[in-house]
Amino acid sequence: MKILNVFAAFTVLIVAFLFYRFVGQNAVNVPYFDDYAYLEYIIKFINAPNALHFMQELEYKHNGHGVITAKLVFWLDYLMTGEANYRTLILVGSGLVIGLFAYFWKILSVNCLSFWYALPVALFLFTPAYHENIFWAAALWQYTASFAIGLLTYFLLSKKNNWAFTGAIIGGYLLTYTNGNGLFGMYVGLVIPLLQTRYKKAIIWLAACILTTVLFYWYYPFGFGSLGQEKSVRNSALTIVSFFGSCASYFRGRLPEVAVLGVGITLSLLGLALWLGVEYVKKLIAPRSKGKMLPVFTNTPVNLSLLALLAWLLVTGLGVATARAVDTLETPARYMIYSVMSVVALYVTFLLILPQRGQKILTAGMTVVGIFFAVSTYMFAAPDVINFRNSLISDAFSLQQHRRVTGKLETMTNSVVKKYFDEAVEKGIYVIPTTALNEVNVISADTLTMPNVSLSVDIDTLPAYGGILINKVRNEQLVVSQDKPQNALFMVLKNDSTTYVTAVKQRPNRERRSFLRTGNYFKEGFEAWIYQDNIPEGNYQVGFLFSESQKPRLVYTSQRLIIQDFQK
Residue 343 pLDDT more than 80? yes
264-to-188, 337, 366 alpha-carbon distances in Å: 22, 17, 15
Q: Which CATH class is domain 436-563?
A: mainly beta
> What's the pLDDT at 438?
82
Identify whether the C-beta of residue 417 lies closer than 8 Å to the C-beta of residue 14: no
Segment 383-387 shows an average pLDDT of: 95
Query: What residue segments make up the domains of the chain, in order of their start?
Result: 1-222+231-386, 436-563
The percentage of residues in the chain with a pLDDT greater than 70, rounded to a whole number, is 96
Res. 502 pLDDT band, cuts 50 70 90:
very high
Residue 226 pLDDT more than 60? no
User: How far does Cα 295 stand from its chain's mean position?
Assistant: 35
DSSP string, 458-518: EEEEESSTT-EEEEEEEESS-----SSTT-EEEEEEE-SS-EEEEE-EEEE---HHHHHHH
Using DSSP's 3-state secondary structure scheme, residue 536 falls into coil
User: Does the global pTM surpass 0.75?
Assistant: yes
253-267 confidence digits (pLDDT tens): 888 899 999 999 999
288-302, 343-357, 449-463, range with the lowest pLDDT: 449-463
> What's the pLDDT at 508?
93
54-104 confidence digits (pLDDT tens): 999 999 888 778 899 999 999 999 999 999 999 999 999 999 999 999 999
3-7, 102-106, 152-156, range with the lowest pLDDT: 3-7
> What's the pLDDT at 448?
60
Residue 224 pLDDT more than 60? no
- What's the CA angle centered on 306, arms 258 and 370, to 5 degrees? 40
